[in-house]
Structure 1
Amino acid sequence: LRGLRRGHVRIATIDAINRHFFSTMLKEVHKHYPNISFTLTTINNIHIQQALISGEADFGIMLNPQTSRELQVRAFAEMNMGIVVPTGHPLASRSAVRFSQCIDYPFILPSAPLMISEPVEALVNISGNEVKEVAVSNNIHMIRTLIKEQMGIGILCRLDILDEIESGQLAFVPLTDPQLKPFTLALCVSPARQLSLAASMMLNQLEMLFSQL
């Protein structure tokens, strides 16, 4: 199989994973199968299923896939929500926190269409506490940047800041509020479509790497 002459694989992904940790994943796949090339297309989470059904993508990586006969989840990892702070912040050393323990700090909050904005809004409303909003943004990159600039703290998934955790710029503190449910990052295919040998090989390798997340 390592001697596969050539092959091309099309992958549809959400923007959140197109960072160093995913490029490292692809590098690992390339090391095993150097003759397989790939096209990476970043699209909105809700459009990935249609891309799989139509054949525009061989497989997709998406959040919270809906149960459907037209979609098969091959691997998944749960992504918890938490407080994101600069590494020198007073909360950075905590192993976990409740939202009520963070309200004295200014926040940079997510807004639609970011999927995380809905549970964050519900968390704020349920708490009944007034939150100090420094900024609201629908761009994860901007939220990360403002937190790094120490303008406030944020609520994101660990997935959103894996690179910054690795570089020591940001810390992730899990939220323990019971109403918060983890997001599911899933590697999906359309069961109605037969994958090429190259796509099947790459999918198997990604399944193994997913188990390490």
Structure 2
Amino acid sequence: MHSNFLKYFDEVARQGSIRKAASILNVSSTTVNRKILDVESQLGTPLFDRTPEGVALTSVGTILLEHCRKTLYDFERAKIMMDDLRDMRTGHLQLSTIDSVAYGILPDALRQFSRKFPDISFSVTTAQPDVIMQSVAAGEIDVAISFLMDLHPDVRVVNEKSAPFGIIIRPDHPLAGRPNVRLVDVAGNRFVRTTDARGGNSYLDHRVANVANKLKTHVYSNNLFVAKEMILAGHGVGIYTKIGFLDEIRAGKLCFVPLLEDGLSDIRVATLVSASSGLGPVKHHICKVIGDLLTDLRLDS
């Protein structure tokens, strides 16, 4: 429907009078009335009951008014966002992510984002998924990328991607080239494993608590770079998502083999924001960049 009709219809409903609405809108009563009559004719039903005292919404008019006001609100909000986008010159984004994303797609995302917003600065921290979720819910973080687990009611998922765990091995490992494996297939290997920097169990340990303590671990580290170097040097097999090893896998230095294991094959990585803070132009753009990069990745094989 024409935007003029939406404005006319909304104002007539507010005033209960075509004449009063026309005066506020600075148009003639005839113009307002004709526009409403045209739409009533198209719909085949009246939107207002006309009385000597003015007009009152019919049941159909009440339904249409809800649509009308939502459309006007969304349009005004879109205009504000576009104005914000045009006026945006400086600002700061607080980002938090799991370690693997910091080594994977985040640098590319920031490079792409900075081409459009060169004067926006960043703070980037890495943390465990539970800490990230709480920080986003509390409004301490603008945008986060983390495993999608135990979603907090105050956190909104903007986009997500399947990112199952698998083994990370060198190309000369006997299991390289397998379409998938189970933990029992690799139980005899030495492992390179992640520890929580706080001294607790890692995300992997929580997902496979009944198996994790049986793995023969050669190297523990809370730093993905160290873990990666140990795997490259042949000191063990890693159990990670593919996202933190993309460069090495593309270069043929490492291989990823998906794990067919309950709790490890259904993992998803998501872009998260506070449900209460809204998604302005800057956050919307960084989330879109991250989402596009995730979409282009094949993380399950």
Normalising by structure 1, we get a TM-score of: 0.81
One-letter amino acid matched to 1:30: S
Checking the alignment, whether the CA contact within 8 Å between 2:95 and 2:141 is kept in structure 1 is yes
Higher relative contact order (CA 8 A, sep 6+): 1
Greater gyration radius: 2
Distance 1:60 1:109, change over 3 A: closer
> C-alpha displacement at 1:173, in angstroms?
0.9
Instruction: Describe how 1:150-165 pairs up with structure 2 within 5 A.
Output: 150-165=234-249
Counterpart for residue 58 of structure 1: 142
One-letter amino acid matched to 1:7: G
The alignment's C-alpha RMSD in Å is 2.7
Would you say how many aligned residue pairs link Structure 1 and Structure 2? 209
Alignment match of 1:27 (pick from 103, 111, 122): 111
Counterpart for residue 202 of structure 2: 114
1:134-182 per-position Cα deviation (integer Å, ceiling 9, x unaligned) = 3444443333222111122222221232232133221111112356343
Matched residue SS, 1:18: helix
Distance 1:25 1:65, change over 3 A: same
Alignment match of 1:40 (pick from 124, 131, 152): 124
Counterpart for residue 162 of structure 2: 78
**Percent identical residues:** 28
Q: Which runs of 5+ in 1 are unaligned?
A: none
Distance 1:110 1:90, change over 3 A: same
Matched residue SS, 1:169: coil
Distance 1:116 1:163, change over 3 A: farther
User: 2-side partners of 1:4 and 1:137: how far apart?
Assistant: 41
> C-alpha displacement at 1:195, in angstroms?
4.0
> C-alpha displacement at 1:24, in angstroms?
1.2
Counterpart for residue 88 of structure 1: 172
Matched residue SS, 1:207: helix
Q: Which has the larger share of helix?
A: 2
Q: Which has the larger share of strand?
A: 1
Counterpart for residue 171 of structure 1: 255
